Amino acid sequence: MRETNRLGEEIREGAERFGREYQNAAESGFEAVSRSFSEANKGFQVLASEMSDFSKRRFEDVVRAWEQLLRARSFPDVVQAQTQYAQKAYEAYTSEMSKLGEMYMGVVRDASKPVEDASRAR
């Protein structure tokens, strides 16, 4: 009888300990996911702002190119204006895509860090 009571007590204590550990893990996991979503949201806001700024700059470049075309007095002037615009647009686009790629990688890294930290803590 004593052995049965002792064994029952050990099982109850083990179950309570397991319940506390499970609850702590669930709470820390939820907090980590919440921080992760927060970081991702911040990153996407920065990306959206960058894309908006890029679009504004490209629109201004288009307006300048049209102004140059309207001032052109000869066919070579038109070709030169178009060539300059095309070169600038290509350089701006490739530079921006590289920058956005790095920013996306930063968002992924920052958003996954809280979850990684929480999983290492266990």
Higher-scoring residue by pLDDT: 32, 94: 94
How many beta carbons lie within 10 A of that of residue 64, not counting itself?
14
Q: What is the share, in percent, of the chain residues with pLDDT greater than 90?
A: 47
Q: Whose CA is closest to 110, among 23, 22, 32?
A: 32
Q: What is the pLDDT of residue 24?
A: 66
Cβ contacts of 100 within 8 Å, gap of 6 or more: 47, 50, 51
97-109 pLDDT, tens digit per residue, is: 999 999 989 888 8
Q: Whose CA is closest to 10, among 68, 37, 50, 2?
A: 2
The answer to whether 35 touches 114, Cβ cutoff 8 Å, is: yes
> What 3-state class would DSSP assign to 1?
coil
Q: What is the pLDDT of residue 83?
A: 95
When pLDDT is averaged across residues 33-45 and rounded to a whole number, the result is 86
Q: What is the pLDDT of residue 111?
A: 83
72-87 pLDDT, tens digit per residue, is: 999 999 999 999 999 9
When pLDDT is averaged across residues 30-47 and rounded to a whole number, the result is 85
Report the distance separating Cα 111 and Cα 42, nearest Å: 9
Higher-scoring residue by pLDDT: 33, 24: 33
